[in-house]
Structure 1
């Protein structure tokens, strides 16, 4: 930083600091892994070398994985509130396969310490106990947690030995236990190094019928946004119009930008309500976005969540996306303030 002042965001990522890492590997969007900073960043544009606490470079588990990452992939670990119970439709993080995964509670078993969690990224439902869950929060612009932490919060404790139980679906995913992946880096000293490591992810499958209860009622003519299961579009939201609710309990929608195969009209499709959310409300015009602001960027006819990495001239910005990992440039008019749809309400991050 010019002038000798340290950026406020850099103070969280000094050598030895505990952090959580958002993985940008295919199939791992929405996951967070505990790590320690080994080499801190020199400035906001340089990478951070971290050592994972639960991921290793080999199946034997003898060498902790080290990886250079972008600053936007890191955040401080959220404090734990030691909740003993959760409610239907709570947005949560579930501890599974050595990391925290973003999901939503779709069933609460009365009289039991058991919850079914739906993972939007993999379209899977799994069962967890309260000790394996935490309320989902976003590390928002302004360096605060959204929703805010309660005064009784305590430092986060990771249930490293916790295992998800009573899976409601069969495992069907490109990444299976025992698979290996490779990550390359352009960090100084890492240009020609390929990092090999072992990760597993919740499987890719549809939620079972009867396990999900509608958390928001959509009416004919409502403007909404729909997510997709297709490879390359996970995490994206398409503008749609709700046409009707079908006999199968799903919604018939019409895309506002996507055409049908013969090009005679806009594409129509039946989708589950967990793939659908209302259009986010207008929160006013932002004159200028800042570095590290979380935004939605309109690209390929849909909205993608990213973070501003550079403020360019003529109201243009560089935005980094986690999945797939890439950085693209956008006009100011192609960006909007990122909002999260949680518990039936919109929250600004």
Structure 2
């Protein structure tokens, strides 16, 4: 290989096409791109015979290895937010190992952590370009992820004022930085109901 000298890879991560693959390692750099010519099946020598290791994959289609997902995590003062992530593998404790951009790190720093299935969901589908309504439950794109909020003002120039999270911090966003809030339940997306009453702080 060009710039790496590792004894073995843990498993194939994702097929990229054009003869390239993403591979997961148990140490940094933990995910790298590799050409097909630099890969071989992992074999174990036992009792004077070579055995091919059984591959381990995620069986749940919405969370299969290499899938773009969102992970719920708490960020003060905004409460629970949804962070874009990618699935790596299922651990022995039935939690998913995922990787996402570090919330407090540099641009190229990433966090790798195990999360229960209850704290992970597929990436929501695009909602199009429809106008958002006053008091509608939406998610706003912050640097750390998607924060649940409520539309408090419809402004000119395709902009909206929102109240962010439980702290109800007021901030303006462009339309492209917002999306309707949806909930992943029983394998389907459900739209959150509009608030009947908006409390302005």
2:117 to 264, 268, 273: 273
Consecutive unaligned residues of structure 1, counting only runs of 5 or more, are 1-214
Equivalent residue, structure 2, for 1:242? 87
Q: Say if 1:260 and 1:268, in contact at 8 Å, map to a contact too.
A: no
Higher strand share: 2
Match of 2:72 in 1: 227
- How many residues are aligned here? 134
Give the aligned partner of residue 330 of structure 1: 173
Q: How far apart are residue 219 of structure 1 and its match?
A: 0.9
The residue number in structure 2 matching 1:317 is: 160
TM-score (norm 2): 0.59
Alignment check: 8 A CA contact 1:315 1:332 kept: yes
Partner of 1:299: 142
1:258 aligned residue: 102
TM-score (norm 1): 0.35
Superposed CA RMSD in Å reads: 2.6
Q: For structure 2, list consecutive stretches of 5 or more residues without a partner in the other structure.
A: 1-59, 193-201
- Secondary structure of the structure 1 residue equivalent to 2:176: helix
Following superposition, the deviation at residue 332 of structure 1 comes to 0.9
SS in 2 for 1:333: helix
Which residues in structure 2 correspond to 1:74-113 (within 5 Å)?
none
> Secondary structure of 1:309's partner?
strand
**Shift in Å, 1:325:** 2.1
Question: How many Å apart are 1:265 and its aligned residue?
Answer: 3.8
Separation (CA, whole Å) in 2 of partners of 1:248 and 1:332: 40
Give yes or no for contact 1:298–1:334 (8 Å, CA) kept in 2.
yes
In structure 2, what is the Cα distance between the partners aligned to 1:223 and 1:232?
A: 26
